Structure 1
Amino acid sequence: MWSIISAAGWPIWPLIFASVVALAIVFERVWALRRKELAPAGLVADVCKTLPQFKDKQNIARLEAHSALGGLMAAGLSAFYKNEDIDMAMQSEALGVQGKMEKHLDVLSMIASAAPLMGLLGTVIGMIEIFAVQGSAAQTPEAIAAGIAVALYNTAFGLIVAIPALVAYRLFRIRINAILDDMGTALKPFEELLKQHANARKAG
């Protein structure tokens, strides 16, 4: 492996750094986007059954800290008890939840886009070395081979970094959208219950 890195020359080092960053982001997002931690099963039903308990602000704070789904319900409960717009409060919280779920994905996307260009830079540098050798009295097959190695290794490594990063980025996007859709579906009974109580309070 070290012989390949040495043959590829200095242009490969930014690609190695980018690959380490991309790998770290992938592991971090896999851990952060665990469905059971973001949207625990049965949480909505439990909150609906114990709705009066959330008059206590401490219980709302505990619910908010429990999970992303709990945070959405906590926003709705806070708005309900403050006589504020429930939908607006939950939509605002949903944007925050989505932002947290998409954390670092812009960096992963940038790496997927930039890695082929970094590989291309290495390719160009390798070609420049080849032509520089051809124009000198010190032209040797070894020097030309070294320039070709820089070009090919960097091109290949750029694609090796970019393709998995792009696939991971797309898969994370799909997973986030699926989790958000599931949360929206799970929250419908809770929202309807809050609105029923809000209408009853207005009527009373």
Structure 2
Amino acid sequence: MLPILACSVVALAFTIERCWALRRSRVVPKHLVAQVWHLVKSNTLEPTQLRELRAGSPLGRMLAAGLVNIQYGREIVLESIEDRGRHEAHGLERYLNTLGTIAAVSPLLGLLGTVIGMIKVFSSISSAGLGNVTALAGGISQALFTTAAGLVVAIPTLMAYRYFRGKVETLVVDLEQESLKLVEVIHARRGQAGNAESQP
């Protein structure tokens, strides 16, 4: 029961942490792309603002990675954003493998406790016989209790794991879409500027 109890505490702590860390307002802040575009358009983007972008959110770090290489062209900007995006996706998946492992291991720990308990019950039967049926029933119920405890830990942990997996996938797609918006707007603006310069 002690390992199962430890698993339940760890799973609860990681679930609360992921609920806080994977809030959409924290990962993909609203209107951030518009704010950055305004700075780029007005040529007021400074190194201090880039540092604030990196410190603010995963989306800010992806945008900052692209803006640092904005002078090298669209393909380099996209590669920089994609590379940063892979790092951010890895960060969003933090602790999820641990939750998945707890969901898989908890029932096995419960089963192990039950098997050990049943071995003790049958050992007592072989040594003392079937004289005390009440004691035997109590021993069997205690042995089965660990399996129930393992399932009680595993079921909500598995649900949390699957929920966070889906949420991370959605957030990663949102990060890519928001980053591409800025790239496309900047590229379109440069294209318009180029066309204006080429006209007599």
Q: Which TM-score applies when normalising by structure 2?
A: 0.87
Matched, 1:78 2:78: no
Q: Secondary structure at the match of 2:166?
A: helix
Matched, 1:91 2:88: no
- Give the % identical residues: 37
Choose which of 155, 176, 184 in structure 2 pairs with 1:184. Answer: 176
Distance in 2, matches of 1:201 and 1:148, equals 80
Residues paired across the two proteins, number:
192
Decide which moves more: 181-190 or 162-171.
181-190
Choose which of 146, 149, 154 in structure 2 pairs with 1:162. Answer: 154
Decide which moves more: 92-101 or 107-116.
92-101
The gaps in structure 2 that reach 5 residues or longer are none
Offset at residue 181 of structure 1 (A): 1.6
- Deviation string 1:72-120 (CA, Å, 9 cap, x unpaired) is 1000001214668111111111111111111111110000000010011
Offset at residue 200 of structure 1 (A): 7.9
Structure 1 runs (4+) deviating above 4 angstroms are 196-204
The gaps in structure 1 that reach 5 residues or longer are 1-11
| 1:84-163 → structure 2 map (5 Å cutoff) | 85-137=76-128, 140-163=132-155
Partner of 2:186: 194
User: Match for 2:65: what amino acid?
Assistant: A
Check whether the contact 2:118–2:143 (CA below 8 A) recurs between aligned residues: yes
User: Match for 2:60: what amino acid?
Assistant: G
Q: Give the aligned CA root-mean-square deviation in angstroms.
A: 2.2
Distance in 2, matches of 1:117 and 1:123, equals 10
Check whether the contact 2:102–2:154 (CA below 8 A) recurs between aligned residues: yes
Distance in 2, matches of 1:25 and 1:201, equals 50
| 1:5-20 → structure 2 map (5 Å cutoff) | 12-20=1-9
Offset at residue 198 of structure 1 (A): 6.5
Shift in alpha-carbon separation, 1:122–1:202, aligned structure 2, 3 A: farther
Partner of 1:49: 38
Shift in alpha-carbon separation, 1:142–1:194, aligned structure 2, 3 A: same
Shift in alpha-carbon separation, 1:198–1:96, aligned structure 2, 3 A: farther
